[in-house]
């Protein structure tokens, strides 16, 4: 059983019984009724709370005449995301900036959270990465239905030739499910390996090596967060495109 973090223990102490009752009512009783909230859920809550606090703080200090350093940095992130959507999705792509940017920031913070003492990396759990992939999967498909309509999007999945629809439709369904699985497994595997390497080599040489692997972990974390923005943007572009 995974060691329970201090924050997880607090959450289970105050909210564990309510969580257990809820899970039992919906037919999913927890394996441990006394500790129904796992570490990765607690860590995700930390990231969500951090994003909300920073966003609220930044909004209260927005300035056109005298923007601060942090505001300028966030503007660069927004501009980067806008350029990405313009290039990949095309006209109308900026309507997806908020979703893609939030997804990227959430993944990035989850990836690097484990570098802080007494915290762990939530994206080193398949439940988290699969949940994120499901969100991306549902979002881009819903945007396809919204843009093309139910009939139009189903035709889109059937391919350019109606005669091949019987073959193309199952292939597209399998391909879409494969995208979801690849998104989740790629992020999960990279974070698990990163955490493992840092622990192993950091324990062997506890002076300079941890710094090197921490820097490598940050680089991989940012790269994986970018990929988790890039691929859903590609999938959105494919889903809302008038041509298959």
Q: What is the pTM of this model?
A: 0.92
Burial class (CB in 10 A: 0-12, 13-18, 19+), 112: buried
Q: How far from 57 is each of 110, 121, 127, CA to CA, in Å?
A: 20, 25, 30
Q: What does the buried/exposed string (b/e) look like for 54-74 if buried means 16 or more CB atoms within 10 Å of the residue's CB?
A: eeeeeeeeeeeeeeeeebeeb
Q: What is the pLDDT of residues 48-84, one digit of tens each?
A: 999 999 999 999 989 888 888 999 999 999 999 999 9
205 or 94, higher pLDDT = 94
What span, in angstroms and rounded, lies between the C-alpha atoms of 52 and 241?
A: 33
Which of 174, 186, 168 is closest to 231 using CA atoms?
Answer: 186
Confidence band of 204 (pLDDT split at 50, 70, 90): low
């Amino acid at each position: 059983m995974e060691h329970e973090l201090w924050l997880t223990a607090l959450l289970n102490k105050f909210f564990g019984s309510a969580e257990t009752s809820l899970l039992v009512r919906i037919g999913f009783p927890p394996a441990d009724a006394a500790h129904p909230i796992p570490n990765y859920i607690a860590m995700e809550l930390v990231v969500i709370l951090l994003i909300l606090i920073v966003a609220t703080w930044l909004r209260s200090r927005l300035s056109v005449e005298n923007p601060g350093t942090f505001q300028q940095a966030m503007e660069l992130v927004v501009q980067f995301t806008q350029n990405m959507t313009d290039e990949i999705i095309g006209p109308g792509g900026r309507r997806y900036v908020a979703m893609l940017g939030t997804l990227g920031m959430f993944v990035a913070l989850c990836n690097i959270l484990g570098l802080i003492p007494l915290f762990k990396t939530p994206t080193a759990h398949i439940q988290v990465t699969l949940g994120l992939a499901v969100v991306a999967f549902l979002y881009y498909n819903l945007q396809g239905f919204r843009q093309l309509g139910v009939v139009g999007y189903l035709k889109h999945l059937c391919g350019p030739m109606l005669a091949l629809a019987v073959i193309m439709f199952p292939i597209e369904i399998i391909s879409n499910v494969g995208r979801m699985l690849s998104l989740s497994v790629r992020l999960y595997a990279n974070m698990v390996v990163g955490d493992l390497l840092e622990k192993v080599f950091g324990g062997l040489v506890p002076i300079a090596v941890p710094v090197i692997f921490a820097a490598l972990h940050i680089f991989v974390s940012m790269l994986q967060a970018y990929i988790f923005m890039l691929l859903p943007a590609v999938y959105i572009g494919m889903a809302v495109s008038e041509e298959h």
